[in-house]
Amino acid sequence: MVERIPQVKQECCQECGNCEAVCPEVFHLNEATGKSEVINPRGAPEERIQDAMDQCPAQCLEWVEES
Ligand code: SF4
């Protein structure tokens, strides 16, 4: 079965921190780059990951298939 995991499009992240605020188990702002990164792709229910995605002002968060 193909599962999906969240991914951050690094080039468009505006470093606002919304995703980490909504879902800190999955998203974290990298101290060095300031950009968001996925620290645990299955760290929260999909619904809350989706909430974080929906609240990204630059729409930088997306689902990708994991093979
Ligand atoms: S919500 Fe979007 S723009 Fe803001 S830190 Fe997360 S990925 Fe970056």
DSSP 6-66: EEE-GGG-----HHHHH-TTTEEE-TTT--EEES-TTSS-HHHHHHHHHT-TT--EEEEEE
Q: Which atom of ligand 1 is nearest to the CA of 20?
A: 6
Residue with the nearest Cα to atom 6 of ligand 1? 19
Q: Which atom of ligand 1 is nearest to the CA of 14?
A: 3
Question: How many domains, the chain?
Answer: 1
What pLDDT tens digit does each residue of the chain (67 aa) get?
Answer: 789 999 999 999 999 999 999 999 999 999 999 999 999 999 999 999 999 999 999 999 999 998 6
Q: Is 14 in the pocket of ligand 1 (CB under 6 A)?
A: yes
Output the pTM of the full model.
0.94
CATH number of the domain bearing residue 32: 3.30.70.20
Residue range(s) defining the domain that contains residue 42: 3-66
